[in-house]
Structure 1
C-alpha cells in the first residue's frame, strides 16, 4: 500500500495510546513520531516539519477541561500558522469541539477511535496540508514572476541610446496583441527581446513557445507546427500536439523565419490569417489564440523584391517592427556586458571573481564583433577559463587580434575559394564600417545574397 499520510507527529501522555496509534499508522504513513511530554513540542517543531499533528487535549495536570490542549494548540500555531492539527480527547463534547476549530484546529476526534474513521480523518488532513504547500508554491512563483515583470529587461544589458529606444518600443507594444517582427544580426539577442515582450504582456501567465524555423525540415514542418494524429503517416505512433496548439493562449516565437521556403510560407500564412490549424490526419480544424513574434537576420524586404519571401506574409507578421542594433553600434554597452559575463563565468567555473583592465575594455570596444553579443559572451567565457590572474588583460583576448589579422590577409595566402570569398566579404564589410547595403553594392550582390553568404561563413 502506498504510504500517503506523510510524516505524522503524535503527542499524548498515555503510552498505550501512543503505541496503538503508531502500530496503526506506520502502515499508512511515511514516518510516525510519538512524544509523551508536550513540553518538547517547541523542540520538535524547531527541528522538523510534519504533515499532520495529533494532539491530546487533556494531559495529566488537567484531565477533563482541555485547557492544556488549547495551550499547546496555540503554541503550535504560533510557530507554524499553517500546521494541520487534529485534537483528540476521551471526553468529547460539541462545545469543546467547536472551540477547538475556532482556535485553529483542523479536526477533532474521540478516543477510543475507530481505525477507519481515524485514517479517513488523517487522509483528509494530509490533503489539506498538501493544498497549503501548493498555495505557497504558487505564491512564490507569482512573486518571482512579478519580480520578472517589474524588471523585464534584467537579462538585456545596456544603457546606450540604441538599446533604450528598443526598450521604449517594447513598453508600447507588449500590452497589445500586435504581431511583432524583430530584425537584427546573429547574436544581437532577438530571443531575449521576444521573451521580454511576453513577460510584459497580458499573456505572461501562459506559455512562451519558441521555434527555430531554420531547423525544421520541409517534411516535418506541418507535424512540428500543426501536430498530427496517430497513424497519419508511417512514424506517427501517437497523437502529437503542434507548436501552435501548445502555445494556445500564450506567445509563439518563430525564430529565423527568413529561412522558410515559399511553399512553407504559404502554409504558415494560412494558419496565421485564420488563427486555425488542421493537424495531419485530422478532419476538423482547431482554433488557436496566440500572440505571434517572429525574428530573422535576413533582409526580408529585399527578399520580397527578389520574390524569395511572400509580401503578404511580411505584412502579416510585422504589425510592429523592432530593429536590434549590432554590438558595434552600441560599444558604450560593452563594459556592462563584459562585467555581466565575467561574473557569470567566474561563478560557473568557480574562479575568483575576476576584474577587467581598462586597456582590455578599450581593445574589446575597438573590435568589430561580427558575432555580436554572443561572440563577446564566448570570448569572455574563454578568457575567464584560461586566465590565471584576477584581472583580464588584453593578452587574454589574443584570439581577437588574430581574427582581425586573418581578416586582413592577402588573397595570395590561400587558393581555397570559400576562404577567398569569406576574406573578400569581411574586407568589404570592414571597409564600409558594417553597412550591409554598401558592402553588397561594392561586391555586386543583392542584400539578400550577401546575408546568405554571411550566414554560410558565420560572419
Structure 2
C-alpha cells in the first residue's frame, strides 16, 4: 500500500518537527516547508494527499496559501492550525474551503484523527493512530467507536475481563453505551455461544419484577395462568445484563444477593430450588457507593456485583472521538436510508466539537441520523446549533445522569440561536436580546476567545 503524503507548512521549526513525528507514527510520508512560498515549490515537484498549514506566517499566510492551492487546481484538503483562534478567521477559513480548523494547543491525537478523516475522503488509508502497531479497536469491538486514551483504557479492561467469569458493573451517564460494553464482554467471553439476556430494571413495575427475574409457577397469583421462566433461568450458562441495577428496591436486592451467593432460586409460588450458572453484568448511571452510604443500596450486594468496575467517559470528555463517530454514523445511516452523504463540512464539525453532548453518543447518533435524512447535498452543512440541541427543544429537561449546564453556556447557545434566526444581523439580534449592539459584539468576541475548535478539553 502506498504511503499517504502529507505536507506540513509552518515557520516554527519545532512545530514542523512535532508534526513530522506525529504523522510518521501513522506510517505517512511527511514533507515540511517553512513558508507558503516553499510549500508551493514542493507542490510543483510532487503530489500530496493533505496539507497541514499554520495560519499566521511571515509573507504568505495560511489563507493565502489556501487560495493559491485552489487557484492552481490542486484538489488537496488543507487543514489550518493556529495559536490565535478567532471567529473571523474561522469563518474566513470555512468560506475559502479549508477542510478543518484546529486551535493550538491541541492533542496530537486529534490532529492525527483530523488528517485521517481527510485522507479517508481522498480514498487513502493510513497506519494505526499513534503507531499502535495493531488495528484500531473498532475492528475488535465493531459497534464501539473510539480511539481516545479514555476509551483505550475501557477496551483494555474489557479485553481482560471478558475471558473471566467475574461479575462486572458498568458505570456511565445515559447514552454512553453501557449495553454495548456489556455485549462486547459477552461476545468475547467463553459464554459467547450461550444466551445473553437483558433486563432493564426501570422498565418493569416493582410488583412484577420478582416474577420477571425468577419466573413463577401456575397459579402463583391471579393472572398466572401458566408457568413461566424468569431471566435467570433463561440466562443459565450464559450472561445476564441488569441495566440500571440501582433502581431495584431493597427487598429485590436481597433476593438478587441470594441468587448470586447460592447460585439457586425458587420461582414465585414454587418450592423447588433451581440451580443456575449465570454471569452478572450490571450497569447504572448512579454512584452505587454513594447509594450504599445513603442506605439505598445493599453494601453486601455492592461488593458482589462490583468485582470489576468499568467507567465509561461522557462524550464531552472524549471529543477527539467525535469525528470517528460522525463518519461511522453517516456510513450506517447512508445504508439504512439509501443515501450517499460523504460527510460534514468543516464548520459543521466545528459546531459538533464545541457542543458538550449531555445525551452523549446516543444524542450524537440521533443528530447525525436526522442530518443524513434531511440533507439535500452530499455534504451535511448546518450553522444553527439548535439543529442538534435536542435536549433543549420545546423546554425539555435534560435526561437523568447528564451534567447540568452553566448559565454561561445557556446564554451562549441562546445568543447563537437568535443570531441564526435573524440571518446574522447583529442589530436585530441585539434588539431581540434586549442588549446594546456594543454589548452583543463584546459577547461575541468573548465567545470567539473561548472557542477552542477541535481542542480536547
- 1:250 alignment partner, one of 226, 238, 257: 238
Say if 2:406 is the partner of 1:427: yes
- TM-score normalised per structure 2: 0.56
TM superposition shift of 1:263 = 1.7
Going from structure 1 to structure 2, the CA distance change for 1:294 and 1:231 (only over 3 Å counts) comes to same
- 1:291 alignment partner, one of 264, 279, 292: 279
What is aligned with 1:400?
388
Asked whether the 8 Å contact 1:262–1:310 carries over to 2, the reply is: yes
Say if 2:342 is the partner of 1:342: no
C-alpha separation in 1, matches of 2:329 and 2:375: 15
- TM-score normalised per structure 1: 0.56
Deviation by residue 1:323-368 (Cα, 9 ceiling, x = unmatched): 0010011100000100111111122112223321122111111101
Moved more, 351-360 or 269-278: 351-360
Give the secondary structure class of the aligned counterpart of 1:254.
strand
After the TM superposition, which residues 274-423 of structure 1 pair with which residues of structure 2 at under 5 Å, given as runs? 274-395=262-383, 398-400=386-388
C-alpha separation in 2, matches of 1:150 and 1:161: 14
What is aligned with 2:88?
none
Going from structure 1 to structure 2, the CA distance change for 1:425 and 1:327 (only over 3 Å counts) comes to closer
C-alpha separation in 2, matches of 1:150 and 1:311: 36
Asked whether the 8 Å contact 2:245–2:282 carries over to 1, the reply is: yes
TM superposition shift of 1:428 = 7.0
Going from structure 1 to structure 2, the CA distance change for 1:275 and 1:358 (only over 3 Å counts) comes to same
Which structure is richer in relative contact order (CA contacts within 8 A, separation 6 or more)? 2
Going from structure 1 to structure 2, the CA distance change for 1:397 and 1:389 (only over 3 Å counts) comes to farther
Asked whether the 8 Å contact 2:348–2:380 carries over to 1, the reply is: yes
Deviation by residue 1:354-386 (Cα, 9 ceiling, x = unmatched): 321122111111101000000000011111111
C-alpha separation in 1, matches of 2:196 and 2:324: 28
Asked whether the 8 Å contact 1:180–1:318 carries over to 2, the reply is: yes
Give the secondary structure class of the aligned counterpart of 2:325.
helix
Give the secondary structure class of the aligned counterpart of 2:197.
strand
Give the secondary structure class of the aligned counterpart of 1:214.
coil
What is aligned with 1:159?
147
Asked whether the 8 Å contact 2:363–2:390 carries over to 1, the reply is: no
- 2:258 alignment partner, one of 246, 265, 270: 270
Asked whether the 8 Å contact 2:358–2:403 carries over to 1, the reply is: no
Asked whether the 8 Å contact 2:235–2:278 carries over to 1, the reply is: yes
Give the secondary structure class of the aligned counterpart of 2:388.
helix
Going from structure 1 to structure 2, the CA distance change for 1:298 and 1:286 (only over 3 Å counts) comes to same
Query: Which one has a bigger Cα radius of gyration?
Result: 1
Deviation by residue 1:154-190 (Cα, 9 ceiling, x = unmatched): 1100111111100100111111100000000000000
C-alpha separation in 2, matches of 1:187 and 1:243: 24
C-alpha separation in 2, matches of 1:396 and 1:355: 17
What is aligned with 1:214?
202
Going from structure 1 to structure 2, the CA distance change for 1:401 and 1:178 (only over 3 Å counts) comes to closer
Asked whether the 8 Å contact 2:141–2:184 carries over to 1, the reply is: yes
Asked whether the 8 Å contact 1:367–1:400 carries over to 2, the reply is: no
Give the secondary structure class of the aligned counterpart of 1:284.
coil
Say if 2:192 is the partner of 1:204: yes
C-alpha separation in 1, matches of 2:347 and 2:388: 14
Say if 2:168 is the partner of 1:189: no
TM superposition shift of 1:402 = 8.3
Give the secondary structure class of the aligned counterpart of 2:202.
helix
C-alpha separation in 1, matches of 2:174 and 2:202: 13
TM superposition shift of 1:309 = 1.0
Gaps of 5+ in 2: 1-136, 411-457
Moved more, 255-264 or 387-396: 387-396
TM-align CA RMSD: 2.8
C-alpha separation in 2, matches of 1:234 and 1:405: 44
Going from structure 1 to structure 2, the CA distance change for 1:308 and 1:340 (only over 3 Å counts) comes to same
Going from structure 1 to structure 2, the CA distance change for 1:245 and 1:429 (only over 3 Å counts) comes to farther
Asked whether the 8 Å contact 1:383–1:396 carries over to 2, the reply is: no
Give the secondary structure class of the aligned counterpart of 1:215.
coil
C-alpha separation in 2, matches of 1:229 and 1:152: 42
TM superposition shift of 1:216 = 1.7
C-alpha separation in 1, matches of 2:231 and 2:237: 12
C-alpha separation in 1, matches of 2:179 and 2:151: 15
What is aligned with 2:413?
none
